[in-house]
Amino acid sequence: MSHDIPTINAEQRTKLGTRYSQRLREDGKIPVVLYGHGQEPLHLAVEQKPLFDAVVSHAHLIDLDVAGKTETALIKDIQWDYLSRHLIHADLTRVDRSERVEVEVGIEFTGDPKALQQAGAVMDHPLQTLSIACRADAIPETIIVPIDELTSDTPVHASAATIPDGVELLTPGDTVLASVSITQAVEDEELETPGGDEPEVINKGKEEDDAE
């Protein structure tokens, strides 16, 4: 299911540089750059919160209102302040809504595999996203991957993903998305020192101490 496309107000930046960008952030705004379609890059400022809300809700496409003119853009790259979890910069690409684009979309695992009910079972999922191609206005929020058939012997591959109509999966189908490993608990008795006589080296050390 694709998102409704959010509209975000933007204003053109007349000043560039680190100091001015910092002032923007102090005012709750962030610098963004809009590229693409053979046009000159457009340096803009947008409110941090609306763009943050769009990103965390898995939106890929936004409409920018720049002085009454709408620019449809694909969110290409986001920079975060990892201490505050605020956005600090974004790169956007101009697109037409009907244009075919290639994007990375998050994976959503569904199902309750019996393999994960085993003691010590852990699911490994090396990828967080899948690469797809589709119309810009039809980018799904996530790609669903059922894992009911997942076992310790049978991993789940990209070919098992549920791909919506009009979407092409670009990630190779044999790519492993989920597998199960069983952790081996160390038995308590293996950690204990065996009963009986102490090791010889300890006895020797004791004898030497007594001799001194």
Domain with CATH 2.170.120.20 in the chain: 102-186
Contacts 24+ apart (CB under 8 A), 23-26: 25/86, 25/88
Q: What is the mean pLDDT of residues 185-190?
A: 40
For residues 84 and 67, the answer to whether their CB atoms sit within 8 Å is: no
Residue 204 has pLDDT above 50, yes or no: no
For residue 114, what pLDDT is reported? Answer: 87
SS3 label, residue 32: strand
Indicate whether 203 pLDDT > 90.
Answer: no
- Provide mean pLDDT across the span 108-128: 91
1.10.10.10, 2.170.120.20, 3.40.50.300, 3.20.20.70: CATH of 102-186: 2.170.120.20
- For the chain, give every residue range classified as CATH 2.40.240.10: 7-95
pLDDT at 3: 62
Q: Is residue 185 scored above 70 in pLDDT?
A: no
Q: What is the DSSP string of 120-139?
A: TEEEE---SEEEEEEEGGG-
CATH class for the region spanning 7-95 = mainly beta
